[in-house]
C-alpha cells in the first residue's frame, strides 16, 4: 500500500480518446460559472432538454492533449461540447484498477472529492464509465503540476513556500472540519490554478472517518509520520506531520528523512532525525520543527500555523 517517489509506470492507450484536433485552452475566457452552474442555467432556459447530464458519456466531450499520466491511466484536456467549458478528463483503466486492487480506493476518492468545495481543492464535477474505463470530470488546473515547478527551480523562495503552506493549511482546515484525513500530502498531488493558487488534486488515500482512529499504512514513504511506521493508531494529525515534510521539501528541494535505504528512512523518521540547512531562515525552521514532532498532540495546530511569524511575514 506504500508508494515510492520514483516515476510511475507508463500506461498509454492512444485509442482512448479522439485527438484529431487539438483544443485551445480558453480557461481564462469565461470566468465565473462552473460547469455545473452553466448546466443548471441552461436547464432553466431549456426545461424540455432531452437528456440529463447526470448521465455523462464520452460523446459529451471534445478531448485534446494529454496533461499527465499515472499508474492506472491518463489525464486529458477536454471541453464539454454544449457549454464549451474546459475541464480535465481523468481516464482510468478498469483492468489496471482490478490488478492493483484499487476499485474501493477509487470509490472512496470519488465519494469524498465530489462533495468538497474549497478554492484550494480541485473540484470533481462528475464521473462516468464504459466497458473498459472510468472517467473522472475534474476542474482544469491551468498552471499544471506544482512538483514540476519545484523540480525546475530546485527549491522555492521563502515567500513562495509560505504562500503555498498557508493555502495548504486552509485546505486542510476545511478537510478536517468535514472529518476527512488526506493521508498522502506531497508535491506530486498538488496542482496550480489559473492564478497560481495551490490546489490539492489527488484524494486516492483520503478517508472520511471522524469518529475513530485508524491503523492502515498508506501514502509515500518519505512523508509517513512515526505513528504510521510504528503501526500505531492515528488521526488527522498525520496531515500535520506531512505538512512539515512538505514545507521542508519546498525550502530544501528534498524530503528531510530521505535515504537510499528504506529502512534507514524509517529509522530517521522514528527518531525524528531532522537536520535543517543553514539557508533556511530561523522562523521557517521553527515552524518545520513544530510540525515534525514525534508525539501527534505536540504538533502545532493548523489555526496556529496561520498566526506563525514566518507565515505572517510572508503572506498578505
Residues annotated as catalytic (active site), given as ranges: 184
What are the C-alpha distances in Å from 208 to residues 116, 158, 236, 302? 12, 33, 10, 19
The residue written with cell numbers 485552452 in the block is: 25
What are the C-alpha distances in Å from 263 to residues 21, 147, 223? 49, 25, 14
- Confirm whether residue 71 is marked as ligand binding: yes
- Confirm whether residue 188 is marked as ligand binding: yes
- Confirm whether residue 104 is marked as ligand binding: no
- Confirm whether residue 139 is marked as ligand binding: yes
10 Å CB burial of residue 315 (0-12, 13-18, 19+) is middle
- Confirm whether residue 141 is marked as ligand binding: yes
- Confirm whether residue 189 is marked as ligand binding: yes
Binding residues for ATP: 71, 90, 139-141, 188-189, 202
Known binding-site residues equal 71, 90, 139-141, 188-189, 202
Amino acid at each position: 500500500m506504500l508508494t515510492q517517489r520514483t516515476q510511475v509506470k507508463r500506461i498509454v492507450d492512444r485509442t482512448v480518446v479522439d485527438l484529431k484536433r487539438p483544443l485551445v485552452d480558453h480557461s481564462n475566457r469565461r470566468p465565473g460559472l462552473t460547469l455545473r452552474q452553466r448546466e443548471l442555467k441552461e436547464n432553466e432556459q431549456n426545461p424540455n432538454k432531452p437528456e440529463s447530464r447526470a448521465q455523462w458519456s464520452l460523446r459529451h466531450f471534445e478531448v485534446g492533449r494529454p496533461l499527465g499520466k499515472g499508474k492506472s491511466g491518463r489525464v486529458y484536456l477536454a471541453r464539454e461540447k454544449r457549454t464549451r467549458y474546459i475541464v480535465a478528463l481523468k481516464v482510468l483503466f478498469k483492468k489496471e484498477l482490478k490488478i492493483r486492487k484499487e476499485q474501493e480506493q477509487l470509490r472512496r476518492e470519488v465519494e469524498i472529492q465530489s462533495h468538497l468545495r474549497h478554492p484550494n481543492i480541485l473540484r470533481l464535477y462528475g464521473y462516468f464509465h464504459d466497458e473498459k474505463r472510468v472517467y473522472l470530470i475534474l476542474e482544469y488546473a491551468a498552471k499544471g503540476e506544482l512538483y514540476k515547478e519545484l523540480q525546475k527551480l530546485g527549491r522555492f523562495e521563502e515567500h513562495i513556500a509560505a504562500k503555498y503552506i498557508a493555502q495548504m493549511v486552509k485546505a486542510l482546515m476545511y478537510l478536517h472540519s468535514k472529518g476527512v484525513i488526506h493521508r498522502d500530502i506531497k508535491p506530486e498531488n498538488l496542482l496550480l490554478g489559473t492564478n497560481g493558487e495551490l490546489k490539492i488534486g489527488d484524494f486516492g488515500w483520503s478517508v472520511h472517518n471522524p469518529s475513530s482512529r485508524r491503523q492502515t499504512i498508506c501514502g509515500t514513504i518519505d512523508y509517513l509520520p512515526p505513528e504510521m511506521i510504528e503501526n500505531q493508531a492515528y488521526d488527522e494529525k498525520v496531515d500535520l506531520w506531512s505538512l512539515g515534510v512538505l514545507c521542508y521539501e519546498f525550502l530544501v528541494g528534498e524530503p528531510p528523512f530521505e535515504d537510499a535505504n528504506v529502512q534507514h528512512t524509517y529509522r530517521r523518521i522514528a527518531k525524528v532525525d531532522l537536520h535543517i540547512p543553514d539557508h533556511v531562515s530561523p522562523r521557517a525552521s521553527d515552524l518545520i520543527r513544530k510540525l515534525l514532532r514525534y508525539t501527534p498532540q505536540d504538533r502545532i495546530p493548523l489555526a496556529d500555523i496561520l498566526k506563525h511569524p514566518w507565515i505572517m511575514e510572508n503572506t498578505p
